[in-house]
């Protein structure tokens, strides 16, 4: 959290009290919105939701500091949003600790005492993407989105094309069985989708995206993704009467599926309500599996729940689409 709204009631109005106030406002965590002239103004602003925290500096603050006595300040927090209040309290504690060390070092310098305070220097290391390269996430997202687009558009177009050319009636009277007709439409899409993975992997290699996991496992996940996408495409073909309608309906479905799947924005940063809808998108599972295989190098022993949900969701969509497609054609 950044720029939390801070109200300051400085009763001391000394140089050191201004230094303390500047320590708060100079950080990225707090932004000064008001300087109160009485304590009740802090309560009013917190109650009205116009401030997140209040800082009260007592009138004898500088006297105690320079008199080598313990000095205290008061933080007033709004409990309306407990997460914001806890964050503000943690930030304030960190700032006050740093300010206390500065005051102590000033005291030692005045006494002409050379000393170094012990401390801990945190060294933050990011797992799986230490360089914080955003292109890794975007390349993997584009691979996932490509599988979605190929599965939906190609399947919907090949089936609806039979209606456009008027050959669907001829297909019906042929000795072809129903499953043979469906397989004839879906196998080429699956083949094209899996073959297109090779140039996508070469592009990922060109962008130096790490591939720490199993490539065959990634192909298995891609096949399940195409299976789910083709189910959606088959369902679209039952709603459209011509190719133009199929393309428009596909666009209408692709964008919410894409935006809710974590391919463009991490699911954790979405509003809570949208996070639940995100798990209704089959591509959500494919994205998690792809990130796990590429970036983390994890295998089926960890990803199996995602694979089970992914396949179950895809099978449900495919069976629903297959039932409706048979009903409409025959």
Q: Which strands, in side-by-side order, build the sheet including 53-57?
A: 30-35, 4-10, 53-57, 74-77
Give residue 287's Cα distance to chain centre: 11
SS3 annotation, 113-171: CCCCCCCCCCCCCCCCCCCCCHHHHHHHHHHHHHHHHHHHHHHHHHHHHHHHHCCHHHH
pLDDT tens profile 222-245: 998 888 888 888 888 888 888 888
Give residue 78's Cα distance to chain centre: 28
Residue with token string 């666009």: 251
pLDDT value at residue 147: 85
Whether the per-residue pLDDT at 54 is higher than 90: the answer is yes
pTM as predicted: 0.61
CA 39, CA 75: separation in Å to the nearest integer? Answer: 12
pLDDT value at residue 330: 45
Longest dimension (CA), the chain: 103
pLDDT value at residue 228: 86
Whether the per-residue pLDDT at 56 is higher than 90: the answer is yes
CA 108, CA 113: separation in Å to the nearest integer? Answer: 5
Q: Is 293 exposed, middle or buried (0-12, 13-18, 19+ CB in 10 A)?
A: buried
CA 321, CA 2: separation in Å to the nearest integer? Answer: 47
- Beta-bridge partners for 57: 10
pLDDT-derived band at 328 (thresholds 50, 70, 90) equals: low
pLDDT-derived band at 216 (thresholds 50, 70, 90) equals: very high
Cβ(235)–Cβ(317) under 8 Å?
A: yes
More confident residue, 142 or 126: 142
Q: What are phi and psi of 43, to 5 degrees?
A: -60, -40
More confident residue, 268 or 118: 268
For range 76-98, the mean pLDDT: 88
- What percent of the chain has pLDDT above 90? 14
pLDDT value at residue 217: 92
Residue 77's SS3 state is strand
pLDDT mean across residues, the chain: 84
Residues of the chain with CATH 3.40.1710.10: 4-110
CA 298, CA 214: separation in Å to the nearest integer? Answer: 8
Whether the per-residue pLDDT at 186 is higher than 90: the answer is no
Cβ(178)–Cβ(330) under 8 Å?
A: yes
Strands (E), the chain: 4-10, 30-35, 53-57, 74-77
Q: Given 3.40.1710.10, 3.40.50.170, 3.90.1170.50, 3.40.50.300, which CATH number is that of 4-110?
A: 3.40.1710.10
CA 293, CA 143: separation in Å to the nearest integer? Answer: 13
pLDDT value at residue 282: 82
Which is it for strands 53-57 and 74-77: parallel, antiparallel or unpaired? antiparallel
The mean-pLDDT minimum among 27-31, 42-46, 125-129, 140-144 falls in: 125-129
pLDDT tens profile 10-53: 999 999 899 999 989 888 889 888 888 888 899 888 888 889 99
For range 178-207, the mean pLDDT: 83
Whether the per-residue pLDDT at 112 is higher than 90: the answer is no
Whether the per-residue pLDDT at 322 is higher than 80: the answer is no
* Eight-class DSSP state of 284: H
């Amino acid at each position: 959290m950044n720029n939390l709204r801070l109200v300051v009631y400085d009763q001391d109005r000394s140089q050191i009290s201004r230094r303390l106030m500047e320590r708060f406002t100079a950080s990225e965590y707090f932004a000064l919105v008001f300087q109160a002239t009485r304590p009740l103004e802090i309560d009013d602003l917190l109650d009205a939701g116009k401030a997140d925290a209040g800082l009260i500096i007592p009138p004898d603050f500088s006297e105690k500091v320079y008199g080598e006595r313990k000095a205290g300040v008061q933080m007033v927090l709004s409990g309306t949003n407990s997460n914001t209040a806890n964050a503000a309290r943690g930030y304030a504690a960190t700032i006050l600790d740093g300010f206390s060390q500065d005051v102590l070092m000033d005291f030692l310098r005045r006494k002409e005492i050379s000393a170094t305070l012990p401390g801990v220097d945190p060294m933050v290391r990011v797992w799986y993407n230490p360089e914080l390269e955003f292109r890794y996430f975007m390349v993997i997202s584009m691979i996932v989105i490509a599988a979605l687009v190929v599965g939906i558009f190609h399947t919907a177009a090949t089936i609806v094309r039979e209606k456009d050319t008027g050959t669907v009636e001829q297909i019906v009277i042929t000795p072809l069985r129903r499953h043979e007709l469906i397989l004839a439409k879906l196998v080429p899409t699956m083949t094209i989708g899996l073959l297109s993975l090779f140039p996508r992997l070469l592009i990922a290699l060109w962008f130096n995206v790490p591939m720490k996991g199993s490539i065959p496992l990634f192909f298995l996940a891609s096949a399940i993704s195409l299976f789910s996408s083709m189910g959606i495409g088959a369902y679209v073909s039952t709603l459209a009467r011509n190719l133009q309608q199929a393309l428009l309906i596909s666009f209408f479905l692709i964008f919410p599926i894409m935006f809710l799947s974590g391919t463009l924005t991490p699911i954790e940063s979405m509003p809570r309500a949208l996070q639940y809808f995100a798990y209704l998108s089959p591509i959500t599972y494919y994205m998690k599996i792809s990130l796990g295989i590429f970036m983390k190098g994890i295998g089926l022993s960890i990803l199996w729940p995602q694979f089970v949900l992914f396949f179950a969701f895809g099978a449900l969509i495919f069976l629903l689409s297959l039932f409706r497609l048979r009903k409409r054609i025959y």
